Amino acid sequence: MSNTATPNEHEALGKHAGHYKTMGAMPEALVDLARHAPGAFDAYSAMRASLLKTEEQGAALPLKYKHLIIAVLDVQRDEPIGMNNHIRAAMLAGCTAEEVTEAVLLGIIVNGMPAWGKIGRKGVEFAHKFAQEQSAASKTAG
């Protein structure tokens, strides 16, 4: 958030801050949306919170798989920032690096090797590196 944030931006970001913790960080594009269009940010965030409910909140699909599906869609759309954000969120929700790898590879069936070669493989590398970081962090914490 910039130092020139409006009261509406602060209110919109604050209202939805808890939801975005599943991402590990607030994506910059969403901070910009809150700054320039707080109402649109609020509406987008409400829709997103509804779709990304947990099983405890009544969802049929586990949150880790919802983020994994979004990550794979981001691979197919060539969206590396979203891909990494949703891989991180999937793994924070319990997805393994091996599950990420398998899901990303499934994209080859639909779009062939280009999505894998361009960013899919980078997502898999990100997942394995994140898993190593999480493992190291849990060893030092415990």
Per domain, the residue ranges of the chain are: 1-51, 55-142
* Domains 1-51 and 55-142 fall in the same CATH topology: yes
37 burial level (CB within 10 Å; 0-12, 13-18, 19+): middle
Query: Whole-angstrom Cα distance, residue 81 to residue 78?
Result: 9
pLDDT in the model for residue 1: 40
pLDDT in the model for residue 17: 79
Its CATH architecture, for the domain 55-142, is Up-down Bundle (1.20)
Contact 127, 137 (CB under 8 A): no
- Does the pTM of the predicted model rise above 0.95? no
pLDDT in the model for residue 23: 74
53: left (phi over 0), alpha (psi -120 to 50) or beta: beta
pLDDT tens-place values along the chain, 142 residues long: 444 556 677 787 888 877 787 777 788 898 899 999 999 999 999 999 999 999 999 999 999 999 999 999 999 999 999 999 999 999 999 999 999 999 999 999 999 999 899 999 999 999 999 999 999 998 888 7
pLDDT in the model for residue 2: 45
Instruction: Please give the class, per CATH, of domain 1-51.
Output: mainly alpha
